[in-house]
Amino acid sequence: DSGVTQTPKHLITATGQRVTLRCSPRSGDLSVYWYQQSLDQGLQFLIQYYNGEERAKGNILERFSAQQFPDLHSELNLSSLELGDSALYFCASSVAEYMGNEQYFGPGTRLTVT
Partner 1 sequence: AQSVTQLDSHVSVSEGTPVLLRCNYSSSYSPSLFWYVQHPNKGLQLLLKYTSAATLVKGINGFEAEFKKSETSFHLTKPSAHMSDAAEYFCVVSQLDTGRRALTFGSGTRLQVQP
Q: Does 28 bind partner 1 (CB under 8 A)?
A: no
- Residue 91: CB atoms within 10 A of its CB come to 29
User: Looking at 22, 67, 73, 105, which residue binds partner 1 (CB under 8 A)?
Assistant: 105
Q: Using CA atoms, how far apart are residues 94 and 4, in angstroms rounded to an integer?
A: 10
Q: Does residue 77 bind partner 1 (CB under 8 A)?
A: no
DSSP string covering 10-47, please?
EEEE-TT--EEEEEEPPTT--EEEEEEEETTTEEEEEE
Q: Which of 43, 51, 53, 63 binds partner 1 (CB under 8 A)?
A: 43
Binding mask 46-65 for partner 1 (x = CB under 8 A): ----------x---------
- Shortest approach of partner 1 to residue 16 CB, angstroms? 28
